[in-house]
Amino acid sequence: MQAMTPDPEQLSGSGSFLTPEASGMQEDALRDLVVSRVTDQSFSVSWYANTGVYSSFVVEYKEVSLAAGPPAETSLPRESLGAVIDGLQANTSYKIKVYGLAGEQRSSPLEAVATTAVIRNTFSVISVISEIFRI
């Protein structure tokens, strides 16, 4: 997973989001989770966070079809408002959760479900050789 800092323009528009209402944290301090740039092996997630509220972020993701087992998790510094999640399986749904950390306290998560793209088999004809033999 690679951290990224998206442009403010990327944060506009509609996306799946839930508003955190954790005790002691500002309402709407973490919001607007957006999934974009979906490929067969990766997707990007980005979110908005009020400046200075969180010391870091945690991104969790897990295949929706896997009932057991812990999600993959990574920590990101406070400057990161997004990440590229890669190494995924094609045509697979993933549940994504993003938390803000204020000290040891986690915010309520932003949540989304994203499905990676289907691998499209494409064939190219490089050259065609035709020979006719007469006897």
Cα–Cα distances in Å, from 76 out to 45, 73, 80, 109, 135? 12, 10, 6, 15, 74
Q: Is 49 exposed, middle or buried (0-12, 13-18, 19+ CB in 10 A)?
A: buried
What is the arrangement of strands in the sheet containing 30-36, beginning at the earlier edge strand?
2-4, 82-85, 43-49, 30-36
Between 126 and 89, residue with greater pLDDT: 89
What is the predicted pLDDT for the residue at 68? 72
> pLDDT, tens digit, for every residue of 16-29?
333 334 345 566 79
Least confident of 14-18, 82-86, 98-102, 105-109: 14-18
Beta strand pairing call for 56-63 and 43-49: unpaired
What is the predicted pLDDT for the residue at 54? 96
> pLDDT, tens digit, for every residue of 105-120?
999 999 999 999 998 7
Is it the case that residue 5 has pLDDT exceeding 50? Answer: no
